[in-house]
Amino acid sequence: MSAIADVARLAGVAKATASRALSGRGYVSEATRLRVVAAAREIGYVASPNAASLVTGRTKNVGVIIPFISRWFFSEVLESLEQALLAEGYDMTLYNLPAASAERDSVFEYFLARKRFDGVISVGVALSEAEVDRLHRLGRPLIGIGGPIRDVHTIAIDDVATARLATEHLLGLGHVDVVHVGGDPIDEMDFRVHSQRLSGFYSAMRDAGRSTDRCFYPCEFSMPGGYEVGLSVLGDPRTRPTAIFAASDEIAIGVIVAARELGIQVPAELSVIGIDGHPYADMFRLTTLEQHPRRQGHLAVSALLTELARPTDADARPEEDGYLTVLPTNLVIRSSTSGPHRPRR
Amino acid sequence: MSAIADVARLAGVAKATASRALSGRGYVSEATRLRVVAAAREIGYVASPNAASLVTGRTKNVGVIIPFISRWFFSEVLESLEQALLAEGYDMTLYNLPAASAERDSVFEYFLARKRFDGVISVGVALSEAEVDRLHRLGRPLIGIGGPIRDVHTIAIDDVATARLATEHLLGLGHVDVVHVGGDPIDEMDFRVHSQRLSGFYSAMRDAGRSTDRCFYPCEFSMPGGYEVGLSVLGDPRTRPTAIFAASDEIAIGVIVAARELGIQVPAELSVIGIDGHPYADMFRLTTLEQHPRRQGHLAVSALLTELARPTDADARPEEDGYLTVLPTNLVIRSSTSGPHRPRR
DNA sequence: CTTTCTGCTGGAACCGGTTCCAGTATCGTC
DNA sequence: GACGATACTGGAACCGGTTCCAGCAGAAAG
């Protein structure tokens, strides 16, 4: 284990000088700098980050808390976060936050309390008031992705508006019996995603003068979830809707698979639209509103770096503005949507 | 920032005593222990892990290197690793290792060299000889998942045997024209997964006396990949096989979707089998060989903990045995496979 | 020729814990 | 009553860096 003292000895300088030479802070003559660097290379010296962060207080590490890893949106965000942080010399500690449980508490009380990071990025976690307080008390910059957190700069899409857009696309094609299949607001998995997409749907329907009775079917937020509900919603030809707005592409694809199994032509007999921009969308020719998780990840990292560069906490934040960065979604029309072909009563 | 010195002062003891009381190592009377704990709680003391690991050398952190995050197998493993580590009081630093590139080198030279972890788990990474050396030189325990690494305890399934089993299932049903759709061994993504599953297939075919000409179709290792190849392999009725062994469930599902679009009945006209135990398998009624990524993750963690508990590195390892833990896969028969119903020439 | 500034270097303190070692009190044993 | 073992406590060294401060050149300014 070579320490900086060894490097200093080999280079014939003091520890202080060696430290300055290697970190690049403070005065060091070019000649000695080269000597120190050479010595360091010779013995394969790598600075101990523990010792450094003990005195500087910065760890070059970012904590990420996230409720799921294996779902598309989350794994995409995670990958982009990791890339962006790596490029900036930060490594990433991952905290997979389960629903309310002893493990969840331990993340807050034990792991996060250790403060082994310079900042935290919270991805789509539904935080309780107490949890938000705890995060703030850590005294570290905090950035959110996927839904607003009190007093935290958050990167997100506008779920209400996006759901509204999706619904309006179907209504604009002339559909009357439009149905929404999505996550149940009761067991809100992360943010207000379920309820917000639902409310965007409802408001678009109301604005178009449509009834909102019996047109929401909750399902598990996955492809099998959409499939299952799809089978039951589409099973009865008499009550079958002509268009379905699914809260996610995976749900939408589940619905399409169900429709195909039931012999229902998409889009001739049924239009389906989703939200996400999932890589499978193309293969199922799914019309969707693309959000861009990787872009959200990159933005979150640069927002965090900005906060980290801010000289002191006491420094007034720039006018509370820019606190919610809303990213646009874009409509990609494929052939899962068209006007209703069946005559309606 | 409350330090242990503050706790000691408040409890009226020395730093040393406070440390012993809180860590539970060494003699402390019950009375003072309680006093110290109370004092610590009062001022909300949390030990600085940096300071602790500076002197003890252990970080209570485990590094995980992984080539993908968003693919099913990897995200499942990751989730299980995180859970298991958390339960043991370890947090997890994630290094998403891209294919050979400057970023990849930086992970080894910069991030891993910092040694901010007690051990490393490598998940399905194809490591070069030089990289394996570098990992060993870190002087930290190393566990592999998904493929053998030189001198490293690895948890894996037997890809050759599993592929053989899948193929034999199809052959056993009486299929003659059996085809394998899988990853291209040329751009091996992680371990020898592609080539091993291919060779298991070939050997089963040869053992059954079947020709192995023109019966392997490489594709991207994903559902769209399987779909695309499925369309082309199944497109021509004259050359269409009666059974397909797909290297993964996602590929298999892609093939099934392609078959359905082409109006080919599964399993009446085409049997399909996959490998994985993907959550979508049920909904597509896919026969598959289940591997259990979560179990692999848990085993890797306990193997790592065992290594960490080993007193010294100099200590002889237990006879090199148990160095490869091979996990069984189990056949789950659903209705994507059956005997060939079409008369054969 | 002094004074001041700038560039550079080394000694020492410090970050916040852990652990070694010495010292004391209590207890059981011969 | 002497002795050793056992339970407990505090002082001090230490882990491996960073940073403050003082000191000392040599150059520029007065």
Q: How confident is the model at residue B314 (pLDDT cuts 50, 70, 90)?
A: very low
Mean pLDDT value across residues B19-39: 95
Give tens-digit pLDDT for A33-92.
999 999 999 999 999 999 999 999 999 999 999 999 999 999 999 999 999 999 999 999
Does B189 or A271 have the greater pLDDT score? A271
Q: B211 to chain A nearest CA, in Å?
A: 33
pLDDT at A345: 41
B168 and B279 fall within a common domain: yes
Whether B151 has a pLDDT exceeding 90, the answer reads no
B122 and B136 fall within a common domain: yes
Q: Are A125 and B111 in contact (CB under 8 A)?
A: no
Q: Are B152 and B123 in contact (CB under 8 A)?
A: no
Q: Which residues are CB-contacts of A224 (< 8 A; sequence separation ≥ 6)?
A: A254, B279, B280, B282, B283
Residue A114 resides in a domain: yes
Contact across the interface for A116 and B260, Cβ inside 8 Å: no
Q: How confident is the model at residue A190 (pLDDT cuts 50, 70, 90)?
A: low
Mean pLDDT value across residues A234-246: 95
Give tens-digit pLDDT for A161-176.
999 999 999 999 999 9
A191 and A287 fall within a common domain: yes
B109 and B135 fall within a common domain: yes
pLDDT at A321: 43
Residue B54 resides in a domain: no
A248 and A171 fall within a common domain: yes
**Nearest chain B alpha carbon to A81:** B96
Residue B43 resides in a domain: yes
pLDDT at A125: 87
Residue A41 resides in a domain: yes
- The pairing of strands B153-157 and B142-145 is parallel
Does A308 or B189 have the greater pLDDT score? A308
Whether B128 has a pLDDT exceeding 90, the answer reads no
Whether the beta carbon of A10 falls within 7 A of nucleic chain C: the reply is: no
Give tens-digit pLDDT for A116-156.
999 999 999 888 889 999 999 999 999 999 878 888 999 99
A187 and A164 fall within a common domain: yes
CA gap A296, A319 in Å, rounded: 22
Whether the beta carbon of A55 falls within 7 A of nucleic chain C: the reply is: yes
Q: How confident is the model at residue B319 (pLDDT cuts 50, 70, 90)?
A: very low
CA gap A59, A53 in Å, rounded: 5
The size of chain A, in residues, is 345
Give tens-digit pLDDT for A193-219.
899 999 999 999 999 999 999 999 999
Count how many pairs of residues, chain A against chain B, have C-beta atoms within 8 Å.
134
CATH, residue B22: 1.10.260.40
Does A194 or B319 have the greater pLDDT score? A194
- Lowest average pLDDT, out of A185-189, B200-204, B264-268, goes to A185-189
Structure token pair of residue A317: 């934040």
CA gap B275, B197 in Å, rounded: 10
Residue B337 resides in a domain: no
Give the closest of B68, B89, B224 to A280, CB-based.
B224
Which residues on neighbouring strands pair with residue A273, listed in sequence order?
A: A245, A287
Structure token pair of residue B206: 């040869």
Residue B298 resides in a domain: yes
Per-chain mean pLDDT for chain B? 92
pLDDT at B315: 47
pLDDT at B345: 41
Measuring from the CA of residue A56 to each C1' atom, give the nucleotide at the shortest distance. Answer: D18
Mean pLDDT value across residues A311-336: 75
Whether the beta carbon of B55 falls within 7 A of nucleic chain C: the reply is: yes
Mean pLDDT value across residues B114-135: 92
Per-chain mean pLDDT for chain A? 92
pLDDT at B189: 54
Give nucleotides in strand C with any atom < 7 A to a protein C-beta: 7-20
Counting residues of chain B whose pLDDT is more than 70, the rounded percentage is 94
DSSP H stretches of helix in chain A: 4-11, 15-23, 30-42, 49-56, 72-87, 102-106, 129-137, 159-172, 193-207, 223-235, 249-261, 293-309
- Domain count within chain B: 3
pLDDT at B235: 95
Contacts of A260 in chain B (CB under 8 A): 260
- Lowest average pLDDT, out of A15-19, A201-205, B183-187, goes to B183-187
pLDDT at B342: 55
Q: How confident is the model at residue B30 (pLDDT cuts 50, 70, 90)?
A: very high
B164 and B248 fall within a common domain: yes
Q: Are B249 and B288 in contact (CB under 8 A)?
A: yes
pLDDT at B119: 96
pLDDT at A344: 44
Sheet order of strands, B119-123 included = A324-327, A153-157, A142-145, A119-123, A61-66, A91-96, B91-96, B61-66, B119-123, B142-145, B153-157, B324-327
Mean pLDDT value across residues B320-334: 85
Give tens-digit pLDDT for B81-114.
999 999 999 999 999 988 878 889 999 989 999 9
Whether B318 has a pLDDT exceeding 70, the answer reads no
B28 and B131 fall within a common domain: no
B112 and B20 fall within a common domain: no
Give tens-digit pLDDT for B210-260.
999 999 999 999 999 999 999 999 999 999 999 999 999 999 999 999 999
B165 and B148 fall within a common domain: no
pLDDT at B190: 55
pLDDT at A186: 78
Residue B339 resides in a domain: no
B window 215-244: Cβ near strand C (< 7 A):
none
Q: A321 to chain B nearest CA, in Å?
A: 30
Residue A332 resides in a domain: no
Q: Are B294 and B77 in contact (CB under 8 A)?
A: yes
CATH, residue A152: 3.40.50.2300
Which residues on neighbouring strands pair with residue B143, listed in sequence order?
A: B121, B153
Which residue range forms the structural domain that includes residue B35? 4-47
Give nucleotides in strand D with any atom < 7 A to a protein C-beta: 7-20
Whether A319 has a pLDDT exceeding 50, the answer reads no
Residue B279 preceded by cis peptide, ω within 30: no
A148 and A184 fall within a common domain: no
A119 and A215 fall within a common domain: no
